[in-house]
Amino acid sequence: MLYPLQFKPIYKTPIWGGEGIAKLPGRKNVPLRCGESWEISTVDGNMSVVADGPLKGNTLEELIEVYMGDLVGEQVYRKYGNSFPLLVKIIDAADDLSVQVHPGDDYAAEHYGTYGKTEMWYVMEAEEESEIINGFRTATSADEVKKHIRDETLLQLLNRIQAKKGDLHFIPSGRVHAIGRGIMLAEIQQSSDITFRLYDWGRKDKEGKSRPLHIEEALEVLDFSPEYSAGHPQVHAGQSLCLSDNEYFIANLLEVKGESRRNYQMLDSYVILLCVTGECHLRYHDNQTLVLKKGTTLLVPACIEELFISSSKPCSIIECYSSHL
């Protein structure tokens, strides 16, 4: 019988990584300067493996092949086959990430044979001076962007937003963006790892080398409009709020108080639960229980039609599932 699955984290140590992921409850063997914890992934070379229970040691791809629609939903399986459609991460930035952009589906399919990358961020922690770059300040053009890159003044064009715990940012493919230092966030995105860097703050790695930029590719996919999507969602205790409803996923924020019943009977989809603050208990299948702590990510199989989440103290959870295909 399928059950809510937790996977072994896949840790990444980019040049900007911090120490916050190691401080999350229950984390073990986290490397120094860990910038990313890939919680759910079927990206090539980064395959999630079940951490516990009867299915321990199986990869997510293997489980989708065996359980198909019972695990991910019939419509999801028909569209994506044995690949999982999303990549879920926790990101911890001790330094600024590069200013970057991701391609859309058409460009990614033509040039890389994969999907594009639209993503959503929920800020779990933010230092007082932290900023997020989300889009351009005003409408611009490829020529203007190239000139500012050449003059090392690209930041003048960018929309820089002070980051606060609980902020929400939606980053569609084509939008210029960057995560600033002092921020930990949950990231839900399409299953893609294609990034085009425009600017990397002039830094060098431990060997004295600069990381490569991808300016020509970035200019081909950039949206030069001043659009951006950001906010600070407010949810009353015991209620939920839709954070994003886009063509790739629907994400809600659950503020748990007491016990809440979640009915997934009509979804025909997997459900991802990612605890972003506090701690709660999850009850399913005739009173089997799990504990979710800050940073815990679960994949609830589509065949589980209801579960109960309870907490006596404030607890916030991101709930995510497939959009209508």
**Known catalytic residues?**
197
Nearest Cα neighbor of 39 from 64, 60, 54 is: 60
The tally of CA atoms less than 13 A away on the side-chain side of residue 80 is: 27
CA 171 to chain centre: 11
Number of helices (H) and strands (E) in the chain: give both, helices first: 6, 21
131-136 and 177-179: which strand pairing? antiparallel
Tokens representing residue 228 in the block: 């951006």
Q: What is the 3-state secondary structure (H, E, C) of 61-94?
A: HHHHHHHCHHHHCHHHHHHHCCCCCEEEEEEEEC
Distance CA 187, CA 91 (A): 7
CA 72 to chain centre: 18
- Kindly write down the DSSP assignment for every residue of 254-304, as one continuous string: EEEEEEEEEE-TTT-S-EEEEEEESEEEEEETTTEEEEEETT-EEEE-TT-
Nearest Cα neighbor of 233 from 223, 246, 244 is: 244
* 3-state secondary structure at position 149: helix
Beta bridge pairs of residue 242: 252
